[in-house]
Chains A and B, each alone.
Chain A
Amino acid sequence: MAVKSYIDAVKEAQDLALEHDKNVLILGEDVGKNGGVFRATDGLQDKYGEDRVFNTPLAESGIGGLAIGLTTQGYRPIMEIQFYGFIYEVLDSLAGQMARNRFRFNGTRQMPIVVRAPYGGGTKTPEMHSDNLEGLVAQTPGLRVVMPSNPSDAKGLLLSAIESNDPVIFLENLHLYRSIKGEVAEGYYTTPLDKAAVVRKGKDISIITYGGMTPVALNAAEELSKQGIDAEIIDLRTVSPLDIETIGESVKKTGRVVVAQEAQRMAGIGASVMAEISERFILSLKAPVGRVAAPDSIYPFAQAENDWMVNADDIIDKVKEIVNYD
């Protein structure tokens, strides 16, 4: 096993997919010679040719439509949206079209499309480059929404997403691209979709989180363990559909829960998780479910990111509040 960055894991998965299945195509703005603005497709055009890895004109809705059409010819497109904040430009292709096609065609047609896009804050981007907009697509039936938190999952989940016949919105945390490294197994492997991971075992409380918040929660758990609180951490990995089984097992064990997300508090994934817990596992709870989330304002201008974003201290405070609740 080699230690790799998140972005290299994403690139490696695409490389392997192109090699593994000649129907896989990569398209998007600047994915060719430039290798994407984050180099997620670096060198892939050279290796597989312009026929399979190609730049598109600058139009997200065009990219979405093109990907949908290409599936009729047996292709499995990986379309890159340069920043997830530009998703509004292609929302009809995602939610109005590809999400509905399997259903619309009575199961006779598939949409094997992966929509890759970086999201998330902490890198002082210009406006509309960092928003956590997973909630927009997670409330759309017909889309899978995958948000890996580490290099190994990024690779295995991306390969699963490419194999999936359902459209998968694959959201990559921009801040983690180069800030974390981890062990990544060699060669082709898949990590199952729709399965949460217990990334830290604990007995006192369950912290349920995903994406960029997972490493933050892991840091919080380290600090909490010094203070005698043993937190279990569930990384959802796929935020739609939710792995209610893994959530339930953890809740039943600990009886206390904090849900943590980088997105604003309103609506969103955290709210869904809390609703599932209250519907199904309320009798296992010893305290109300706590929630850590960003304030309900528009995503901040770069200079105020630190004050606005959720951090490990916020998680620690909320965990203590829930642990000490009688």
Chain B
Amino acid sequence: MSNISKTNDQILDFDYQLKAQDDAFPTLKVLDNDGKIVDEKALERADLSDDDLINIFHNMLLNRQLDIRSTKLARQGRFGFFAPTAGQEASQMASAYAFHDEDWLFPGYRDIPEIVAKGWPIWKAILWSRGHVVGNEYTTDDGKEVNSWFPQIIIGAQYVEAAGVALGLKKRNKKAVSYAYTGDGGTSQGDFYEGMNFAAAYHANEVFFVQNNGFAISTPRKLQTAAPHLAAKGWAVGVPSLVVDGQDAIAVYLAAKEARAWAVSGKGPVLIETLTDRFEAHSTAGDDPLRYRTKEDIADWWKKDPLIRMRKYITDKGLWDEDKENDYIAQIDARIDEDIKKADNIDKQKISDYLKNTLEVPGYAMKEQIEKFESEGK
């Protein structure tokens, strides 16, 4: 008997398969933790002007400031539900920066800053968080439509819906894409696979993001799946997939930009896994991270704060300094102050309006209820 062929041997080598998967997803990096460029050619390919660099950093500062202010307000009981974003600024804002107004955003509940960056006024974000329906009107203050769905609560649902948008855009021959965000936990949902599989089957115009921040509430990434990389899940459905250093704004932007270009050209979707961290609690509703992770782990991640390296890089380039930063933060704070006032002064929601918005044509009992609530001014 001759020996088994090399190919057959490899097919049957399960250890090899696991290792091959593990090796298949090196991490895309451009900027190291000290703000130094580790790949000059990749930087060139990102093609970011000085203005772009400043805009991305502005957006990251806006994100951080929204986080700080929202967390504080939540503590005072003046906010509603809030999912902190500190640590994920590069992952969120540098990715979002690669998309255009005509692209459709499908955010999760933690992706408030991406919608704000797309033009959703902060006061509406506050109302969304507080539980007011006007928060779910996705228009700018001058009445322009913001192409965003709402921050999805049902984990995974946004992935499938975004695939529908992507197919619709393709059918209409639009040079636009949909882009959807979920977390490491979200990759376990059936909707995650269904969304990618559908988009891929139709070669639809979509970019999928997984922000792998290490935890789904208390559940560590390792318990979600035995897959060595979340990005590997894209390969199962024929989607080009990559892993990027989520603390590196330039690498994240580069990945998102290339993915968008691919998707918009009609070749199908792309999956991007960003390696990041949530520095704070899962939400402001009573989560205590020290029940499931250590102080040291959190402190180590703070050293990888995405703001540090981007700040260093643009400072070394002569584009940024402390005064500029203080000025910009003061501007954001003033804007947030004004928007809190605006949110505070919104009209109360009416139950009669709720009923009218539940069905276009209300039934008999609903009509009675509408009349009753209207007569009570509710």
Contacts and interface: CB of A to CB of B under 8 A. Distances in A.
A97 to B, nearest CB: 15
B292 A266 contact: no
B219 A30 contact: yes
Nearest to B131: A302
B98 to A, nearest CB: 27
Interface in A96-139: 124-129
Interface stretch (B62-70, B297-305, B324-332, B349-357): B349-357
A52 interface: no
Contacts of B287: 37
A298 B351 CA distance: 10
Contacts of B315: none
Contacts of A128: 153-154
**Which of A33, A34, A126 counts the most B-chain CB atoms under 10 A from its CB?**
A126
Given A124-B131, A301-B349, A32 B218 contact: yes
Contact of B365 (A59, A86, A265, A308): A265
B189 A303 contact: no
Contact of B217 (A37, A86, A126, A127): A37
A33 B218 contact: yes
Contacts of A89: 154, 189
A3 interface: no
Contacts of A58: 155, 185-186, 188-189, 216, 219, 224
| Chain B interface residue bracket vs A | 35 or more
B216 A295 contact: no
Contacts of A127: 131, 153
Contacts of B358: 296-298
A21 B281 CA distance: 36
Nearest to A125: B81
B329 to A, nearest CB: 28
B109 interface: yes
B140 interface: no
B171 interface: no
B185 A296 contact: no
B130 A303 contact: yes
B366 interface: yes
A304 interface: yes
A296 B81 contact: no
Identify whether the interface residues of A are mostly helix, strand, loop, or mixed.
loop
Nearest to B358: A297
A30 B223 CA distance: 11
Contacts of B218: 30, 32-34, 55
**Which of A125, A127, A297, A308 counts the most B-chain CB atoms under 10 A from its CB?**
A297
Contacts of A55: 218-219, 223
Interface in B130-170: 130-133, 135, 153-155
Contact of A33 (B188, B285, B291, B378): B291
Contacts of A29: 216-217, 219
Nearest to A298: B358
Contacts of B363: 296
B153 A297 contact: no
A297 B350 CA distance: 11
Contacts of B354: 295, 297-298, 300, 304, 308
Contacts of B26: none
Contacts of A266: 365
Contact of B378 (A88, A265, A307): A307
B200 to A, nearest CB: 20
Given A58-B219, A300-B349, A302-B130, A295 B185 contact: no
A34 B81 CA distance: 20
A126 B365 contact: no
B80 to A, nearest CB: 6
Contacts of A303: 80, 130-132, 348-349
A275 B291 CA distance: 49
Nearest to B293: A33
Interface string B264-302: 000000000000000000000111000110000000000
B157 to A, nearest CB: 9
B355 A59 contact: no
Contact of B369 (A57, A295, A300): A295
Interface string B240-274: 00000000000000000000000000000000000
Nearest to A61: B190
Nearest to A265: B365
A182 interface: no
B235 interface: no
Nearest to A38: B286
Nearest to A35: B291
A105 to B, nearest CB: 26
A62 interface: yes
B188 A62 contact: yes
**Which of B132, B285, B350, B354 counts the most A-chain CB atoms under 10 A from its CB?**
B354
B119 to A, nearest CB: 22
A313 B155 CA distance: 37
B213 to A, nearest CB: 13
Contacts of A62: 188, 190
A59 B155 CA distance: 9
Given A37-B217, A303-B130, A59 B80 contact: no
A297 B355 contact: yes
B75 to A, nearest CB: 15
The 8 closest A-B pairs by CB, nearest first: A302-B131, A34-B218, A57-B188, A58-B185, A297-B354, A301-B131, A304-B349, A126-B81
Interface of A: 29-30, 32-35, 37, 55, 57-59, 61-62, 86, 88-89, 124-129, 265-266, 295-298, 300-305, 307-308
Given A125-B81, A129-B153, 10 more contacts: A32-B218, A37-B287, A57-B185, A57-B223, A61-B190, A124-B131, A295-B351, A297-B366, A298-B354, A304-B131
19 contacts: A34-B219, A37-B286, A57-B185, A57-B223, A57-B225, A58-B186, A58-B224, A61-B190, A89-B154, A266-B365, A296-B363, A296-B369, A297-B354, A297-B358, A300-B349, A301-B135, A301-B349, A302-B130, A303-B132
